[in-house]
Amino acid sequence: MKTQIELAREGVVTEEMKAVANAENLSQEFIRCGVAKGEIVIPNNPSRQDQKFAGIGTGLRTKINASIGTSSDICDIDLEVRKALAAEEEGADTLMELSAGGDLDLVRREVLAATKLPVGNVPLYQAFCETARQTGDPNNMDVEFLFELIERQLADGLSFMAIHCGINRYSIERLRKQGYRYGGLVSKGGTYMVSWMGANNRENPLYEQFDRVCALMKKYDAVLSLGNGIRAGAIHDSHDRAQMAEMITNCELAELGREMGCQMMVEGPGHVPLDEIEGNIMLEKRMSGNAPYYVLGPLPADSGAGYDHITAAIGAANSSRAGADLICYITPSEHLALPNEEDVRIGVRTTRLACRIGDIAKYPDRRENEKQAALARRDMRWDDLNKYLMFPDTANEIRNSRMPAQADTCTMCGDFCAMKRGTAIFKDDMTGDKITVNGQ
C-alpha cells in the first residue's frame, strides 16, 4: 500500500485529499502539492471505517488536538469514552489516547470504536507500563516488545503516533553538561526512555532503528509525530541546549522520514515565554523543511495553575499566528489532576477560540465571518449573529438568563445602548455594510 505522500508525488489526488480540500475550501491541487512536499499531513489509518479526515499543515486552518486517557489513580473506561465523544462534539480535529492505567489495549479499542476522529497515542507509555507490571522495573523493557507493540497499536486503527525518536546520547549529554533544569523532565515517555538508556547503557532504539519505525508507520499510512521528550517544563528552560539538540535531531529525522515516504510531523515546545514563541516556530519550520508543527500548549507562564487553559490559549493564539499547524489543548486541570469531561469541553473550546484568533492574523483574507458577526451585532440582529458565533449555545444561555426590557438590546446597556443610538445617528450615511461619516 502506498502512503498519502507517495501517491501525492505520483500526481494522485486521493479521497482523503479531496475531503481536506473541500473542508478547507481550497483546491485539490493545493492539497496534493502540500502533501507531496511534506508540508501537509493527513492522519489516516485505512483500517478504520468512517474516519474523519483532518489536513494539518501550511495554508490550512490551525487544528486542535484533545488528549484523554486513564492514570494509575483513575481508570474509568466509560469516562474516557465520554471524554472522547465530548472532544468530538466540541470540535476537536484529532484525539490522543494517552492511557497509563488499567487494560491499555481495551481502553484504546473502546475509544477507537466510539469516535470518528483520527486517534493517536504515545507507544512508550504502554511499553513501560506493561514492563513495570510484569517485571517490576520499566528499565527491563525489551526492544522487540516495543516494536511489536507499535504494530499492535497501529493494527487497532491509530492514525498517528508521537514517538520519541529524537532523544539520543548526544541530546542527553547536552543535558548533563548543562547541569540544571528548572522544570525537570516533564515528558513521561521521554523521561522513561532516558532512564532506560542509562540503565542499559544503550542508544535509544527508536533513534537507532528509525528506518524500522518509518516502515511500520508506512505500512498503515499513519503520521509519525516526532515527540519532544526533552521539552521545557518551565519557561526558564525554554530553548536550552538539551531541548535544542533534540529539536535539531527531530527536524533531521523529519526530512529522512519524508524521503522514505512516511508522513511526518515535529512536536514542540512545552513552556515558552511569549516573546520566544515566534522564534521557536521559525526554527522548526526552517530546520525541518516546513514540516507540520504540532505544538503542546505552549504555556507562556508557570504560575497559572487552575487557569492554565487560559495561559495556554494565549500561547496557542500566538503560535497559530506564527505558523503552528496543530495545537494540543490544555484543560483547567493541567498540572493538578486528570481532566474530567467538563475539563475536556472547556479545553477544546478555549483552544478553538485561540486558534481562530491566530488564524485571523495568519490569513487576513479569511476574516469574512468576523465582519458578518460585527455587522449583525451592530444592527442587533440577534438571530443572525448566532450564525457567526463559535459558541452560540453559551451566548444564548447567558442572554436568555438576563433578558432586557427591550428585546433588541441587552442588559449591559439597556436604554443606553450605544449600538442602537449610533445606528440611528448615522442612518442616512450607511452604504452597503459600512457606515460613512460625512461621505468619508
What's the confidence (pLDDT) of residue 415? 81
Q: Is a pLDDT exceeding 60 seen at residue 196?
A: yes
pLDDT tens digits, 179-194:
999 999 999 999 999 9
What is the spatial distance between Cα 12 and Cα 383, in angstroms, rounded to a whole number?
44
pLDDT range class, residue 433, cuts 50, 70, 90: low
CATH 3.40.50.620, applies to 42-365 = no
Report the percentage of the chain scoring pLDDT > 70.
Answer: 96
Q: Put residue 63 in one of left, alpha, beta given phi > 0 → left and psi -120 to 50 → alpha.
A: beta
Per-residue model confidence as pLDDT tens digits over 277-294: 999 999 999 999 999 999
* Residue 50, pLDDT score: 87
**Res. 172: pLDDT tops 70:** yes
Q: Is the pLDDT of residue 419 over 80?
A: no
Domain limits, the chain: 42-365, 368-435
Q: Among 70-84, 172-186, 330-344, 425-439, whose mean pLDDT is lowest?
A: 425-439
Q: Where are the beta strands (DSSP E) in 28-170?
A: 40-41, 56-57, 63-68, 94-97, 119-121, 160-163
Say if CB 123 and CB 161 are below 8 A apart.
Answer: yes
Cell readout for 21 is: 480540500
pTM, two decimals, is 0.95
123-135 and 188-200 helices, crossing angle to 10°? 50
- Helix, strand, or coil (residue 337): coil
